[in-house]
Amino acid sequence: MDPRCLTNSLNDQERQTFEEKGYLLVPKALSPGDVTRLIGLVDRLGIERADEVEPDGRLHLRDFLREDDLFMDLLDWPRTFPKVWGILGWHLQLYLSHIDITPPLPVDQHRTVTLGWHQDSGRVNLEMETDPRPRLSIKVGYFLTDTTEPGCGNFWVIPGSHLKNKLDRPTDGISNPQGAIPICVPPGSAVIFDRRLWHSRSPNHSDRTRKAVFYGYSYRWLRPRDNLRIEDYEDCRDPIRRQLLGAVRDGHGYSSPEPEDVPLRAWLDEHQGTNSGP
């Protein structure tokens, strides 16, 4: 794994911010060159898979890791992945990835709409019993286009809402819940967020298409939401990436892993000089 990971570990202030707000901003997670290359890849996929466009014009693309080495590199990206294991620990997998392409809305559709506030993971939020429900997973979103102002198809969040199972919604059915804010960041920024954080995409009233790439990480005993099969990545030899893609000796390796199932644990023990825990 890239040794630069060791210089980007989750620090105490970042941990406190994440625990209190439910998300963490990572400025300059991608270099300008990385952003340019990713935009080219995203644009190509948008053309090739234009038949997947949704009624509102958005493209929500999954199963793209094999399209380019850079997508695979984002699995353990040195600016963000150390913060992922700092939050969830070493028993990790990639459970979801998607590209979102949000074009500008026509001017005649520039109106106030109700945002789609939700927590991630679908039926987990109906079937888990605790209050608050457990974290289980986090996502990293990489923003490739300028969203420094509201109205650009921004990612919206409600800081601190990850500790609430229910969301108090305004009675007018349109206004945003109290405390809601847009994430306004320049290209190359990343946001790491708890799956329980109440969040939403939003309409794009700007003159540019909003493009973002998301990687979701969970504990390995949670069933992936992607069509990931380690058999589809036979050319991947890196042991930690194979762990993230679901490699395992047998079914018990997901809940009772042996060292060969979770090489990230040994890597952390060796390079951070501390035992990574049970």
- Please name the fold of domain 3-272: Jelly Rolls (2.60.120)
Annotated domain spans of the chain? 3-272
Tens digit of each residue's pLDDT (9 = 90 or more) over 166-184: 999 998 888 999 999 999 9
- Identify which of 95, 120, 82 has the alpha carbon closest to the alpha carbon of residue 244: 95
State pTM to two decimals: 0.95
Tens digit of each residue's pLDDT (9 = 90 or more) over 84-132: 999 999 999 999 999 999 999 886 666 677 899 999 999 999 999 999 9
